[in-house]
Chains A and B, each alone.
Chain A
Amino acid sequence: MGSRRGRSTDEGGPQRVTVPVLQVLDLLLAEPARDDWFALDICRRTRLGSGSVVEILFRLQRWGWVTSRWEDASDAHRQGRPRRRFYQLTGQGAAAAREVMRERFPGLARWAPGGAPT
């Protein structure tokens, strides 16, 4: 992935958006209002490795494209497991992600401004 090259330069935003990052963004944009994305779910849907997904989520958070919160402890404990970290696209993140998608895939209407994915 591009993390080695982008690591020291993308503090305030992305210098380089790699294909796995695009895969995650594409998934998040499919349900931009959803506030309970978690790493395992994203791994399964994108078929990316857990390490890649966790790294991408950390990076998106640092860019301000996603926010995270802890799952309610009582919900998790009722299911007999530790809490998960939930992620959600921010408004800024959704707009920036659509912009990136339009740049990288100009022929597709799927990421039109405000438009739902087709």
Chain B
Amino acid sequence: MRRDEGLARRGARRRAATQAITLAAVIDQLLEAEATHVPMSAGAGTRHAVILRRGQIRNALSLLEEALAYGLDFDFVPPSELSGARAHTRNVAQILRLRVTAALSLAPDLPSNAGHLRAARQLAVELLESLGHIQRWVLEVEADALPSPWAETWSGRLLRLAALALPTGQRRDFIEDQCGNLAAIESPRERARYLLGLMGRMSEIAAACR
């Protein structure tokens, strides 16, 4: 259950990142469209593009906030660094909302506030970067703090230590797989031999799985 929840939150953070990219791209398009702004009578096509882009920006921002609300709600007590990164990301999202609202609050036939739009674009990029850091941190934390009962056995703890040699994304799977193998060994001697065999070759295993 917790594993599924963790995956779903990871997916939400990925969706948030996608929306941040979309937001930055659409802001660029809006700035470009408004740079060639012409009176309504002379440029219906351009005006249409502007209205469309403004709608896309509002939509991307709503989806971004929705994904962040779920994706940043961790199922574990985050270490201080991660907690700080999350607070920063939430702050950036709030300022982003303010900037977008300010940029688009003018009447539809007036150009958007380019200064606010450019600031919003920078914030979207900043958000993207923070989300990338958070995603990596969460992977580290999840791999290191396995809630599974088998990871709390003495052999599970040894495996957790040994798994530090592996790439972050593969540690948890490795530990679960090897705990599964160990649990099927009845003889303590064979179990110890199996575990020691793994320990002795962790650097080779790590190299082979890269």
Contact = CB atoms under 8 A, between A and B. Distances in A.
A83 interface: yes
B200 interface: yes
Contact of A43 (B183, B194, B200): B194
A81 B179 CA distance: 8
Contacts, number: 79
A38 B208 contact: no
B109 interface: no
A54 B204 CA distance: 10
Given A39-B181, A51-B200, A82-B179, 11 more contacts: A39-B177, A43-B197, A49-B193, A49-B200, A51-B205, A58-B208, A59-B208, A62-B209, A71-B180, A81-B150, A81-B180
B107 to A, nearest CB: 57
A38 B150 CA distance: 18
Contacts of B150: 81-82
A116 interface: no
Interface of A: 1, 3-4, 7, 38-40, 43, 49-52, 54-56, 58-59, 62, 71, 76, 80-85
A10 to B, nearest CB: 10
B204 A55 contact: yes
A70 B137 CA distance: 25
Contacts of B148: 82
B201 A7 contact: no
Interface of B: 148, 150, 173, 176-181, 183-185, 193-195, 197-202, 204-205, 207-209
A84 B205 contact: no
A82 to B, nearest CB: 4
29 contacts: A1-B204, A3-B204, A3-B207, A39-B181, A40-B181, A40-B194, A43-B194, A49-B197, A50-B181, A51-B198, A51-B200, A51-B201, A52-B197, A54-B178, A54-B198, A55-B201, A55-B208, A58-B205, A62-B208, A71-B180, A80-B183, A81-B150, A81-B179, A82-B148, A82-B150, A82-B179, A84-B180, A84-B181, A85-B180
A51 B202 contact: yes
B184 A40 contact: yes
A76 B194 contact: no
A99 B90 CA distance: 57
B109 to A, nearest CB: 58
B186 to A, nearest CB: 12
A21 to B, nearest CB: 11
Contacts of B181: 38-40, 50, 84
Contacts of B208: 3, 7, 55-56, 58-59, 62
